[in-house]
Amino acid sequence: MSGYEQVIEEAGRLTEGQIELDEDALQEIERALHRLAARLEEGREPVQIVLSWFEADEKKAGGRYRTEPVTVRRVDPVFQRLELADHSRIGFGQIYGIKEPD
pLDDT at 31: 96
Region 31-50: mean pLDDT is: 93
Q: What is the residue extent of each domain of the chain? A: 2-99
Q: What is the pLDDT of residues 49-79, one digit of tens each?
A: 999 999 988 777 788 999 999 999 999 999 9
What are the helix and strand counts (H, E) for the chain?
Answer: 2, 5
* DSSP symbols for 46-68: -EEEEEEEEEE-SSSS-EEEEEE
pLDDT at 60: 75
Per-residue pLDDT at 15 exceeds 80:
no
HSE-CB of 72 using CA atoms within 13 angstroms: 29
